[in-house]
Structure 1
Amino acid sequence: MRLIKYLFIFGLVCGVLAAIGVAGVVWHFSQDLPSTEGLRDVRLQVPLRIYSADNQLIGEYGAERREPLAYQEIPDPLIKAFLAAEDDRFFKHPGVDYQGLLRAAWVLALTGEKAQGGSTITMQLARNFFLSSEKSYVRKVREILLALQMERQLSKQEILTFYLNKIFLGHRAYGIGAAAKVYYGKELPDLSLAQMAMIAGLPKAPSRYNPISGPQRALLRRNYVLRRMRELEYIDDAAYQTALDEPISAELRRATIDLEAHYVAEYARGRIINQFGLDAYTSGIEVVTTIHAKPQRAAVAALRKNLIDYDLRHGYRGPEAQLGDLGQELDGLDGAELETVLGPMLEEFSSVGGLEPALVLAVDESTIRVWSSDSGVLTLDANEQPYEKLDQVLTHGDLVRLKAADAEDGKTSWSLAQVPEVQGALVSIDPQNGAVLAMAGGFDYFASKFNRAMQAQRQPGSSFKPFVYSAALENGFTPATVINDAPVVFHDAALGGAWRPQNYSGRFYGPTPLRTGLYNSRNLVAIRVLEGAGLDTVRNYVTRFGFERDRIPRDLSMALGTGVFSPLEMAGGFAVFANGGYRVEPYLIEQVRTAEGEVLHQALPPSVCEAACQRERDAELKAQAEMTEVREALGTSALQGEVQEMVFPPAAERVISEANAYVMTDMLRDVVQRGTARRARQLGRNDLAGKTGTTNDQIDAWFCGFNARHVAVSWVGFDDIKPLGSRETGSRAALPMWIDYMGVALDGVPSQVRPQPAGVVSARIDPETGMLASYGSANAQFEIFIEGKLPEAADYGYAAQDGVTVEGAPPSREDELLEDIF
């Protein structure tokens, strides 16, 4: 008995000492444990995402792909798959599974090796959030203590949600939402049971059991998870067998972009990083831009089609590369064997602007056999290709490009193409507030990241003339003013001495009304208008449209658009005509918000607010003031929360008169109806206005056009400033792009011509003299004028110069139609 007593006392002392020791260890390691309270407020590393105004994803930036989900959004089979694979007693243990730890300790005692088992989901979460991956007893103790602490402070559902959103699952995928997108391109509820089991098998070793990197090991791991689910009675035998028979369908997928707008996304990314720093890549910031999906898709398609059409007009430059003599080695090979042999040869060549790379296998006078990674072997009819004598240009082993088109039978037809060397841009804005509706900055962003819509500084050519004419209307000219379109020599020191400007056609047309000079883009008329209105007067005036004065030359070449501006700046200038005379600032970012929806920035751009708009604002502000008076009379608690402060965007500044804007728009509509842009009549609308532009030697081609809803500017040119070629003017090289875009952007939108405002009057004139027509004049026609600026008895007539011969004075209608047709 005494021995038993001593043993009991000894055991008790040892137990107390052990308890003290354990308590000491717990106390020691608890001193610097991080608080798990912050888990509820933790912000997972969510990438920066850029959206269109209609919620289409256009860009995603960040080292980690993550799609955080709430517990209610996680499918139950996926939860059970993870429990089966990682911790089937998760909802029973207090954060530490003592059975699992004892098993791991037993294995350690028998083998001397540290087993991987024993960690619960809670312990894994503690390690991933707060600790390193170092394998040591000290880390394990801290892991256990943290897990117990987390279980006291968080619910099981919260812990599991954090874990499933945090866990790394390979290929930049963090969390189950991102993994579903990366491996299957689906949302979680759309996954099959086998696919869920595949994802649930990844945490053990994301690189080893990855279905992309190690498909066979991944299959074994998936089947293990399915077997555990059946053993735990999470699924029945039928579901188990069906999932077991399902082949691996995982395929690495990039971030799914809903809308191609890479130039817009890059601009937004740069602005956000400048403002918020590199943390923006991981803090889940969401940026909403002003672009809309329908016009954006139309802009990209119109630009690519137009540049390819231009390229076709200038012939085939030959294959893009020669990848080697394929000889007879390919004879008799099937599709899989061809992929093995030819696939590596095309790996470094990706699609550019929708043009697919392909290898020439054989070519003769009638057919061209090619192979592409996506479509396999294709046989092209040489006689249906846009280029001639291809058998003399191509040989086997050549790298070519293919352009896809939808055939009448619903199948895809292919034709030979080439990546254009020429570049272009198209940008469209809302003239009421400057919001950019669409932007395409080049043929393909990944081939050239230079955004020509915003960054290119090019001469606008004749598309700048409307701003000069608007200044003239404010300084004594009218649409009926007759200007002598005759050769002249200007002695201007700023232009290097004598300057002999010409019209594009090389002809001169004699006395020409201002309206005709604009819609037929007569250079001599524009120069004389500038000279008559005053160089400094016009130069100061055009800054009202948003153009920097320092970039406007102080010489007569200003009339021909020799300053340099971007397509976006030109769009902002033409918006003044489109909205009735107000200056709006083009902008691209509508809203910036956190992943939780907190608004960090909300655009409030100056917007056009005319009479009806202002009356509505005044009424709302009056109602707000009256309600405030009632609150003050009754006490603030009586009407708590019923009055919200009205927030309006500031009113845009009026920079030209409504009358001037209306007259200029009317003249610019004639450019479309009977001038250099008459090809746009195919759109069947009467509310389109604009101006073509071509610079010397056809270096730049423009069309700047608008109606009340859209301002769109298209530009075509070479980055290295070389000529576009003979007859590649604005109406031929740039206008078709604008037509294709507007045809889609305005589809279903009724024509809307601004009504003639007060301050604009109509009068009958003699078209040959520009004077008011006398009663009964046979050839009189109506013209509009700014009120108070009608022509008098003698207008700005013309006087023929000595020794000058002019052709066709006045010009015939035939001459007008032929002028600048191309």
Structure 2
Amino acid sequence: MLRFSFYLLLSVFIAGVLVVGAVLWSVLPGLPSANALRQVHLQTPLRVYTRDGRLIAEFGEKRRHPVTIDQVPQLMKEAFIAAEDDRFYQHPGVDWMSIARAAIELAKTREKKQGGSTITMQVARNYFLTPEKKYERKIKEIVLAVKIEQELSKDEILELYLNKIFLGHRAYGVGAAAQVYYGAALEDLTLGQIAMIAGLPKAPSTTNPVTNPETAAVRRAYVLSRMLKLGYIDAAAHDTALREPAAAVVHGLSTEVSAPYLAEMVRSVLLKDYPDDAYTAGYRVFTTVESDKQEAANKAVQTALIDYDRRHGYRGAEHHFNLAPDVEVHVWTDLLKGYFDIGPLRPVLVIAVNERDSQVYTANQEILTIPWEGIKWAREYISHNARGAAPKNAGDVLQLGDIIRIDWRPPVTDNEKATDLNSVVAVGFWRLAQIPDAEGALVSLNSHNGAIQALVGGSISRKINSIE
């Protein structure tokens, strides 16, 4: 009987070895080299810069900001490890204990559920395999994860993971997620924000702090509890992070210099020359534009267009609402939704009209006064060459409930001549304005080599290049 048991166990062992060998023989030839991850190309958008390295624009479907592992805060690493793979630094790429638990769950429920995947296995799947839940893919994932662990360091694997993972709202990688959700660099994130981002891989599209703050807060609490249990944070830090607001808003790209027409010219050239990968190869285009000259050109064109338009008369409010005098403040705020700053022109709601001034409400919930000095210019526009009579009081120009534009008239300087200098003019004041109908352009060229140093084309509000 003992001999029979021995031969039975030996037969099972040999059969197991043969099965594993057959699986490896069929799987290994089709797997890529793990070392190829060192040369992997992440889809990174096209970025356009000034000559001095300031960002003008970004073009691409995916938001990605690759970072090295040294640029990732320690708490960020620990948050992802706590949430996704707390034995990351101990296992050889595959956590057999987690796989065993997943297998037991499968036997109990007869349902295939996600489970047992380590960070290394996720790297293997995200870079080389498909996300479909099939046994063949899972076997390849396990074998490839072991290969990756043999050829790459743990830090290299973690860096690949943190740059590739999808985190919702077109953000791929932690660098992009920090900017998209919080408008911040990784090193400026709070613990609560770090935990929120670390909780996103499970369901990034539906449990992020923009789409579903309540569910995201629950996931953040789980990540923080895991970090506390593993000793990454103390109870005080845990409790403070839990009290942070859960909701977030999508932050657009933070460009440093406004040159949209130039950026579009660059995009068109790159798309023509590199049609297959213009938006994904991570091209960084440094133009000859100098940021200080571009900013000066923007200001010069905006000021000239606004002044030119003002000299031809006032065309009236952008919109008018029938506004009761005693309406609540939140109604004012709602009426301004959909109106945004255009250059120096701010949208405001007229909430009071007096004889010689007017009070207006801004989207920032400020109440400002437009003095008579800022209103008296507004003779009615009749035609390009004709204006109406000069207004006698503010009521000739403005009405309660008007949506108008204002800009700031800075104080006069010693170099300016003020024909009616008074205290208001001396300190600066808010002035009635309007979006110009006129268009203009400015190109500044280097006289030695013809390089473009600044380029402004079109109008303040319409994206039309008047230079081309």
| TM-score of the alignment, normalized to the shorter chain, above 0.5 | yes
Shift of 1:424: 0.9
Q: How does 1:273-672 map to 2 (within 5 A)?
A: 273-322=271-320, 324-327=321-324, 331-334=326-329, 336=330, 338-339=332-333, 341-343=334-336, 346-347=337-338, 349-382=339-372, 384-385=374-375, 386-387=377-378, 388=391, 390-405=394-409, 414-444=430-460, 447-452=461-466, 454-455=467-468
In the alignment, the residues of structure 2 paired with residue 325 and residue 94 of structure 1 have an alpha-carbon distance, to the nearest angstrom, of 70
Conservation of the 8 A alpha-carbon contact between 1:211 and 1:250: yes
TM-score relative to the length of structure 1: 0.51
Shift of 1:130: 1.5
In the alignment, the residues of structure 2 paired with residue 116 and residue 209 of structure 1 have an alpha-carbon distance, to the nearest angstrom, of 17
TM-score relative to the length of structure 2: 0.88
In the alignment, the residues of structure 1 paired with residue 400 and residue 243 of structure 2 have an alpha-carbon distance, to the nearest angstrom, of 43
**SS of residue in 1 equivalent to 2:30:** coil
User: How far does the alpha carbon of each residue in 1:631-688 deviate from its partner, in whole angstroms, 9 at most, with x for none?
Assistant: xxxxxxxxxxxxxxxxxxxxxxxxxxxxxxxxxxxxxxxxxxxxxxxxxxxxxxxxxx
In the alignment, the residues of structure 1 paired with residue 402 and residue 328 of structure 2 have an alpha-carbon distance, to the nearest angstrom, of 19
In the alignment, the residues of structure 1 paired with residue 291 and residue 246 of structure 2 have an alpha-carbon distance, to the nearest angstrom, of 34
Q: Quick one: percent identity of the two aligned structures?
A: 46
Q: Does 1:93 align with 2:86?
A: no
192, 205, 208: which is aligned to 2:206? Answer: 208
Q: Supply the AA of the counterpart residue of 1:292.
A: E
Q: Supply the AA of the counterpart residue of 1:325.
A: N
Q: How does 1:170-189 map to 2 (within 5 A)?
A: 170-189=168-187
Aligned to 1:135: 133
Conservation of the 8 A alpha-carbon contact between 2:374 and 2:432: no
User: How far does the alpha carbon of each residue in 1:202-242 deviate from its partner, in whole angstroms, 9 at most, with x for none?
Assistant: 11111222111111222221222111111101122232233
**SS of residue in 1 equivalent to 2:277:** helix
User: How far does the alpha carbon of each residue in 1:69-125 deviate from its partner, in whole angstroms, 9 at most, with x for none?
Assistant: 112221111111111111111111111111111111122222233333211111111
User: How far does the alpha carbon of each residue in 1:259-302 deviate from its partner, in whole angstroms, 9 at most, with x for none?
Assistant: 11111111111112222224021111111111111111111001
Alignment: residue pair count: 442
Q: Check 1:390–1:314 CA distance in 2 against 1; reply closer, same or farther (3 A cut).
A: farther
Conservation of the 8 A alpha-carbon contact between 2:213 and 2:247: no
State the structure with more CA Rg.
1
In the alignment, the residues of structure 1 paired with residue 450 and residue 166 of structure 2 have an alpha-carbon distance, to the nearest angstrom, of 43
Conservation of the 8 A alpha-carbon contact between 1:184 and 1:249: no
User: How far does the alpha carbon of each residue in 1:755-811 deviate from its partner, in whole angstroms, 9 at most, with x for none?
Assistant: xxxxxxxxxxxxxxxxxxxxxxxxxxxxxxxxxxxxxxxxxxxxxxxxxxxxxxxxx
Aligned to 2:40: 42
Between stretches 372-381 and 269-278, larger displacement belongs to 372-381
Conservation of the 8 A alpha-carbon contact between 1:49 and 1:57: yes
In the alignment, the residues of structure 1 paired with residue 428 and residue 97 of structure 2 have an alpha-carbon distance, to the nearest angstrom, of 62
Q: How does 1:723-802 map to 2 (within 5 A)?
A: none
In the alignment, the residues of structure 2 paired with residue 38 and residue 71 of structure 1 have an alpha-carbon distance, to the nearest angstrom, of 18
In the alignment, the residues of structure 1 paired with residue 358 and residue 364 of structure 2 have an alpha-carbon distance, to the nearest angstrom, of 17
Conservation of the 8 A alpha-carbon contact between 1:59 and 1:262: yes
In the alignment, the residues of structure 2 paired with residue 232 and residue 207 of structure 1 have an alpha-carbon distance, to the nearest angstrom, of 28
Q: Supply the AA of the counterpart residue of 1:427.
A: V
Aligned to 2:143: 145
**SS of residue in 2 equivalent to 1:264:** helix
Shift of 1:133: 2.0
Shift of 1:183: 1.7
Shift of 1:168: 1.0
User: How far does the alpha carbon of each residue in 1:487-510 deviate from its partner, in whole angstroms, 9 at most, with x for none?
Assistant: xxxxxxxxxxxxxxxxxxxxxxxx
Q: Supply the AA of the counterpart residue of 2:435.
A: V
In the alignment, the residues of structure 1 paired with residue 293 and residue 281 of structure 2 have an alpha-carbon distance, to the nearest angstrom, of 30
Q: Check 1:232–1:413 CA distance in 2 against 1; reply closer, same or farther (3 A cut).
A: farther
Note the aligned Cα RMSD (angstroms).
2.4
Shift of 1:170: 1.3
Q: Supply the AA of the counterpart residue of 1:391.
A: G
Shift of 1:393: 4.6
User: How far does the alpha carbon of each residue in 1:564-601 deviate from its partner, in whole angstroms, 9 at most, with x for none?
Assistant: xxxxxxxxxxxxxxxxxxxxxxxxxxxxxxxxxxxxxx
5, 8, 20: which is aligned to 1:7? Answer: 5
Query: Structure 1 regions of 5+ residues with no counterpart?
Result: 456-822
Q: Does 1:258 align with 2:237?
A: no
Aligned to 1:61: 59
In the alignment, the residues of structure 1 paired with residue 161 and residue 305 of structure 2 have an alpha-carbon distance, to the nearest angstrom, of 50
Between stretches 187-196 and 15-24, larger displacement belongs to 15-24
In the alignment, the residues of structure 2 paired with residue 195 and residue 278 of structure 1 have an alpha-carbon distance, to the nearest angstrom, of 36
In the alignment, the residues of structure 1 paired with residue 20 and residue 90 of structure 2 have an alpha-carbon distance, to the nearest angstrom, of 24
In the alignment, the residues of structure 2 paired with residue 382 and residue 365 of structure 1 have an alpha-carbon distance, to the nearest angstrom, of 9
In the alignment, the residues of structure 2 paired with residue 106 and residue 373 of structure 1 have an alpha-carbon distance, to the nearest angstrom, of 57
**SS of residue in 1 equivalent to 2:18:** helix
In the alignment, the residues of structure 2 paired with residue 194 and residue 367 of structure 1 have an alpha-carbon distance, to the nearest angstrom, of 47
Conservation of the 8 A alpha-carbon contact between 1:53 and 1:289: yes
Conservation of the 8 A alpha-carbon contact between 1:353 and 1:443: no
Shift of 1:150: 1.3
100, 105, 108: which is aligned to 2:106? Answer: 108
**SS of residue in 2 equivalent to 1:43:** coil
In the alignment, the residues of structure 2 paired with residue 127 and residue 256 of structure 1 have an alpha-carbon distance, to the nearest angstrom, of 32
Q: Check 1:278–1:374 CA distance in 2 against 1; reply closer, same or farther (3 A cut).
A: farther
Conservation of the 8 A alpha-carbon contact between 2:348 and 2:404: yes
In the alignment, the residues of structure 1 paired with residue 97 and residue 358 of structure 2 have an alpha-carbon distance, to the nearest angstrom, of 70
Aligned to 2:419: none
Aligned to 1:120: 118
Q: Check 1:406–1:234 CA distance in 2 against 1; reply closer, same or farther (3 A cut).
A: farther
Query: Structure 2 regions of 5+ residues with no counterpart?
Result: 379-390, 413-423
Shift of 1:396: 4.1
Q: Check 1:307–1:205 CA distance in 2 against 1; reply closer, same or farther (3 A cut).
A: same
Q: Check 1:237–1:369 CA distance in 2 against 1; reply closer, same or farther (3 A cut).
A: same
Q: Check 1:407–1:160 CA distance in 2 against 1; reply closer, same or farther (3 A cut).
A: farther
In the alignment, the residues of structure 1 paired with residue 255 and residue 308 of structure 2 have an alpha-carbon distance, to the nearest angstrom, of 29
**SS of residue in 1 equivalent to 2:440:** strand
Q: Supply the AA of the counterpart residue of 1:43.
A: H
Q: Check 1:265–1:117 CA distance in 2 against 1; reply closer, same or farther (3 A cut).
A: same
Q: Does 1:73 align with 2:71?
A: yes
Q: Check 1:424–1:99 CA distance in 2 against 1; reply closer, same or farther (3 A cut).
A: same
**SS of residue in 2 equivalent to 1:371:** strand
Conservation of the 8 A alpha-carbon contact between 1:87 and 1:120: yes
**SS of residue in 2 equivalent to 1:358:** strand
Shift of 1:397: 4.1
In the alignment, the residues of structure 2 paired with residue 397 and residue 276 of structure 1 have an alpha-carbon distance, to the nearest angstrom, of 51
Q: Supply the AA of the counterpart residue of 2:328.
A: L
